[in-house]
Structure 1
């Protein structure tokens, strides 16, 4: 049905020519391919012909090979790239006469600026926020908190983007694949942060760094990734706190503990406790030296775990950065190389 057709009459000249002009609005449905959304090109076909009268009674001819778009109103989402008008004569089994039709091919290009600002640019910012999580030191609890927050933000953002993506089973949009990979990288960054924090707070009495891990990360990767080794604690920064009452009973050294004294820190000695000093109790000097050496070994193992977590964190940051750059380069390269010129109008 063509609205407006019954409101106007045909004009018949003395030569027998019949002209039937009337304004109407036609709504057509086009099959679209969303592979390159929002930088996609589409070709819509508008077919005009008669189902009742064959070419014996009505013959259709196109006056021009192009569609007249001089009165075309600028659309806020689509631009007309090219047009084509073609006549077709179709023969059906039922009838010997052809049924002519005029098919108009309209090449459309989507304007991507709106989707670039509202979809692609926020997704790029999410990648930057995820990278900033690796800048935080391994001992910071906000490290994994930031990554989890970014993951939740990405999930909510994808729910909003889902309403803007056109639904089609003709193809999978590269933009959806780009966000799927980005969300996967955010999930991996959360796992990386959890591993780094777990290793940073490793208990030295229970676990030692394997020699192969020490060789790969502490000896090789540390120099490649430019990670500075954590400064070892001085002997003056580690003291032994001993229960004096136990010293007198011969059970003192079992309660001896190693405590790190950092600059600016204050420690209060509880009543009945004091700091053991070298030479104060000669009979326990040898065992005190053994305890002091044990504290030094414990401190060394702790520093190794902290250094290992720093190197591993820098390594994870490099892996995430490389994967993110690769994801962006592949996506924008595919989009940049697509111009829609290979789409045939016919």
Structure 2
């Protein structure tokens, strides 16, 4: 949810111009990179599915090689997102994760190429994550519906807490801007909903994990419904929190403003937004993902298999989560690995 400068306006075009202040110089550099990022994402996801097709046909060597190349491309995709996370979003966490993605994805590709056949399960999970997220990200009417629906629901949440700013057109061209009167708020700023505020990214993560494993459809649907419901509620709460913290200056304490402006390069009236969005909400989102994973494992222990692969990539050690959690009866059959990855 980007922060936007709210000011008295005459028409909607002036709203967009004012809300673009501070990022306009960065926008031209982003136009090309966003197009490149979309292309890399689609090619990567398409290559993941192509690798899975070869696996289904029994051509494991081809599947591993193609999957390995797809992982490298996927890492390059995340690298192209670094300028956006660093320059526009100003999110240290997302910037670091995007930077780390390239070596991690390249290493995953290396392991897969070297013969760790079990990584094709993680490849399948990521392929389905992309299949869930990318159409919504790149198809205009789907994107518009998600953003504007999320904005309307967030506004309703604000109304429940006694705030009714109304909605107007945001800098992204959607009816997603919370129209607080800058003369009545502490910071004179407001926010507007973007695609990242819809919660679809987190939903795609769990949707991909659930879709990738073999299990009875009833348990898979139950796990999916639980994940979507919890993510929707937590994401809505997050949007309301940020949407109110930014204009009302919940974190505009003098010492914090001084620290953020001196050492973090933040604008003084943007401190509450940055603290609420980049530090509190993003930190809690990690906790939420862990908690949701715990709940889903209770219903669908099979997702431990791709999670074991993630742990192997990060640590170089094979962990038996099924044994550790007493879920050994749900362990999938291990594919033949071919060449050792060690």
Which is helix-richer, 1 or 2? 2
Which protein has the larger Cα radius of gyration, Structure 1 or Structure 2? 1
What is the TM-score with the length of structure 1 in the denominator?
A: 0.28
